[in-house]
Amino acid sequence: MDEAQRQAILNKIHALKDLRIFYNMNDRDVFEVMKRCETRHYAAGEVVFAEGDTDHRLYVIVKGEFEITTQNTLGEPMRFFCAGEGLIFGEMAFLDAQPRSAKVTATEAAEVFSITPEQFSELLDQQPATAARFMMGVAEILSRRLRGANQRIKHAT
């Protein structure tokens, strides 16, 4: 690896450390996660996955914003929320291996890292402490999301 490649990797690691999911990780941890992830880019309006899809990737938003929607029992669209930089989506299917429960669409040009359960299992086997810190980041984001949902329910009644 030449110096330019090394510097590009360090720059990416430092940029990623600003994301909420990596708040408790050092450079080496971020690198270990990053090397197992795939980078994907989406255009505004592009669908990442639809409700019922069986892909189980977890997505970390590096740049951009995504809308998460579903249909109610009458078939009408329902918007859950928008997720932006530093947040995640796809965590339910990633954790329980069930079909997707919502549709995710990019609302602007976006970049994500995605990791499969198999890639995470590899991380867990080879770098268990890093995997634990990554999952703590996931848990912290989910906790904030649940608290927000609780507040919306509380104020809706």
At 50-76, the pLDDT tens digits run 999 999 999 999 999 999 999 888 888
**118 pLDDT band (50/70/90 cuts)?**
very high
* CATH number for the domain harbouring residue 27: 2.60.120.10
- The pLDDT score that the predictor gives to residue 157 is 64
Q: Is the pLDDT of residue 5 over 90?
A: no
What average pLDDT does range 131-138 have in this prediction? 95
Can you tell me the distance from the alpha carbon of 14 to that of 36, in angstroms, rounded to the nearest whole number? 17
Is pTM beyond 0.85? Reply is yes
Domain that holds residue 141: 3-156
What average pLDDT does range 38-42 have in this prediction? 96
User: Which of 50, 78, 55, 62 lies closest to 113, judged by CA?
Assistant: 62
Q: Give the chain as a 3 state SS string.
A: CCHHHHHHHHHHHHHHCCCHHHCCCCHHHHHHHHCCCEEEEECCCCEEECCCCCCCCEEEEEECEEEEEEECCCCCEEEEEEEECCCEECHHHHHHCCCCCCEEEECCCEEEEEECHHHHHHHHHHCHHHHHHHHHHHHHHHHHHHHHHHHHHHHHC
Please state the domain count of the chain.
1
As a whole-number percent, the residues of the chain with pLDDT over 90 amount to 64
Of 4-13, 51-60, 72-81, which one has max mean pLDDT? 51-60
